[in-house]
Amino acid sequence: MNAVNPRRWQALVVLAAAQFMVIMDTSIIGVALPDMQRDLGFSQGDLQWVFNAYVIAFGGLLLLGGRLSDLFGARKIFTIGWIILIAGSIVAAAASDAWIEIGGRAVQGVGGALIAPASMTLLMMLFGHNPRELGKAMALYGAAAPAGGTAGVFLGGVITEYLSWPWVFIVYVPIGLATLAAVPALLPATQGKRGSVDVLGAIAVTAGIALAVYTIVSAPEQSLTVTLIEGVGAAVLLGLFLVIQRSVREPLMPLKIWKAPGLATANLAMALLGAAWIPMWYFLNLYLQQVLGYGAFPSGAALLPMTIAIMIFMIGVTARLLGRFGAKPLIVVGLVILALGVAGLSLVRPDGAFASDVLPASLVAAVGMSLAYIPAMMSAMSGARPEESGLASGIVNTTYQVGSALGLAVMTAIATSRGAAELGDPHMLTNGFQGAFIGAGAVAALGAVLTLLLMRGRRSASRPDAGTRAESLDA
C-alpha cells in the first residue's frame, strides 16, 4: 500500500469536480435545446441527438475507459480525458450546423468515458487505506452527481438567457484547464500494467448501441424493410460484442461477472429507470419552452425545485431508508412513484400553468428517481467481488446511459408520431409530449413489476454499505 497522501482531501475536490462536470454535461444542454434547434437547423426529431451523441459515446466507451485506466495509469487517462472533453466542448461551441454539433457532443462523451472510471480508481488509491475515510470520500464524490445535474439545469438557463447557447460548452474550457493544472500537484502518479486493449469489443458495442438508437429514431420516416435491416445490423453488432468477450484473453466485460447475485436484475432496473427518467426530463424542457413559452432562464428555474428535491433525497433520505429496508423495496417503490409522477405530467395542457401542470407531478417524479437510483446502483455492485467492483460500476453506469438513449429514442418516435414535430402548434406539440410522458410512465411501471418479480431480497447485503454511507453523510 502506498503512503497516505497528505493532500488527498484537496485531490478529492478535483475528482468530485470532474464527476460534477461530467454529469452536468448531460443536463446543462437541456434548457438550451430550443435555441440550438433554431440556430443549427435541427428537426424536432433529430434534436435528441444533442443528448444522445454524448450518452452513446459515454456509455459505450465507459468499459474501455476503465480498461485503459488500468493499463496506462489512472492519472494519465484522467488527463487525456480532460483534454478530449475540452476539445469536444470547443467543437460543440463553434458548431455552425447540426452535424458538427453532434460530432462535438460525441467527442465530449469520449472524454467523459475516460474521466469517470479514472476518477474512481484515483479515489480508491487516495482513500483505500481507511474504510471510514473512504466512506466519507465516496459520499462527497457521489453527491457531486446530483449537484452537477442540479447546477446544469440552472446554469444552462442562466447562460443561455444572458449569454448564448455556445457558452454552455465554452464554460468547460477554463474549468478543464484549471483541472489539468491541478493534476500534477494533487493526483497520485499511477503505474500501468501489461495487457491488451479489446478495441474490437469497444467498437462493436458502441456501434451496436448507436445503430440501435438510430434505428428507433428513424423508424417513423423509413420503410419497414429498412428498419428491419438496421435492427438486425444492431443485433449482429451487439451479438458480435458478446462473441468477442467470450473469445479474447482480456475482454472489456468478462461474462462471468454476470454470475454475481443481483447484477442482472439491478442493471435491468437501472436501464428502465434511465429509459423513463431521461425522456421525461427532455420533453418537460420542450413543453416549458415550446408550449408554455418560457425563456431559457425561467425554464431552468422551473426545473430547479425538481433537481433540488433529487439532491436532498439522494443525500439525506435514501441512504437511511436503504439501511433500514434494503434495496429491492426502495427500487420498486421508487419506480412506482416515478411512474405516477410521469403519469401526472401526461395531463399537461396546451394552456397549462407551471404551478398546476408541472410542479406537483415533477416533484413526485423526483422523489421516485431519488428512491430508486442509489439502491439500484448499490445492488448492482454489492454482489461483485472486491476486485470486480470497478467493472461492476462501469457496467451499471453503461446500462443507465444506454437505457437513457434507447428510451429517449423510443419516446421521441412516439411523440413525433403524435404531432410533436408541429412547431408553433401548442395543441399538437402537447399531444406529442403527452404520448412521450405516457410511454415513459409505462416504462417506469414495467421496471417496478420486473424488479418485484425478478430481484431477490438482498437486505443483509445492502445494509453494511448503506450504513456506511449514511454514517459518512452524517459526519
Instruction: Confirm if 181 and 30 have CB atoms less than 8 A apart.
Output: no
* Residues 111-120 pLDDT 10s: 988 988 888 7
Per-residue model confidence (pLDDT) at position 275? 92
When pLDDT is cut at 50, 70 and 90, the band that residue 462 belongs to is: very low
Contact 331, 379 (CB under 8 A): yes
Averaged confidence pLDDT in the chain: 83
Higher pLDDT, 436 or 396: 436
The predicted-structure confidence for 357-381, as pLDDT tens digits, reads as follows: 999 999 999 999 888 888 887 787 7
DSSP H helices in 163-198: 167-170, 172-186
Residue type, 47: L
Tens-digit pLDDT profile for residues 130-162: 777 776 777 677 667 666 766 777 788 888 888
Residue 438: pLDDT over 50: yes
Cell numbers describing residue 369: 428517481
User: Which residues, including other chains, have CB under 8 Å from residue 385's CB and lie 6 or more apart?
Assistant: 260
Cell of 211: 445503430
pLDDT band at 313 (very low <50, low <70, confident <90, very high): confident
The residues, ordered by sequence, that sit 6+ positions from 179 with a Cβ below 8 Å of its Cβ are: 14, 17, 18, 82
pLDDT at 459: 44
Q: How many helices (H) and strands (E) does the chain have?
A: 18, 0
Q: Grid coordinates in use for 204?
A: 462493436
Output the CA torsion 52→57→62→68 (10° steps): -170
Taking a C-beta distance cutoff of 8 angstroms, is the pair 56, 182 a contact?
Answer: no
Give me the helix-helix angle, 426-454 and 263-286, nearest 10°: 170
* Ranges of H-type helices in 287-388: 296-316, 318-325, 327-345, 359-382
Rounded distance between C-alpha atoms, residue 111 and residue 375, angstroms = 27
Exposure string of 23-60, with b = 16+ CB inside 10 Å and e = fewer, is: bbbbbbbbbbbbbbbebbebebbbbbbbbbbbbbbbbb
Average pLDDT over residues 257-280: 87
Do the Cβ atoms of 321 and 330 come closer than 8 Å? Answer: yes
Single-letter amino acid code for the residue at 173: V
In the predicted structure, residue 223 carries a pLDDT above the cut 60: yes
Question: pLDDT, tens digit, for every residue of 183-220?
Answer: 888 888 877 677 777 888 888 988 888 888 888 877 77
Confidence at residue 84, expressed as pLDDT on a 0 to 100 scale: 96
Q: What percent of the chain has pLDDT over 90?
A: 27
**Residue 241 vs residue 461, higher pLDDT:** 241
Q: pLDDT value at position 460?
A: 38
pTM: 0.79
* DSSP-based three-state secondary structure for 23: helix
**Residue 45 or residue 2, greater confidence:** 45
Question: What are the distances in angstroms from CA 253 to CA 205, 393, 450?
Answer: 11, 11, 24
Q: Write down the pLDDT at residue 81.
A: 93
Q: 37 to each of 46, 55, 155, 302, how far by Cα in Å?
A: 9, 19, 19, 21
Q: Is the model more confident about 178 or about 392?
A: 178
| Percentage of the chain modeled with pLDDT above 70 | 91
Sign for the pseudo-dihedral over CA of 208, 212, 218, 224: positive
Question: Mean per-residue pLDDT for 245-273?
Answer: 85
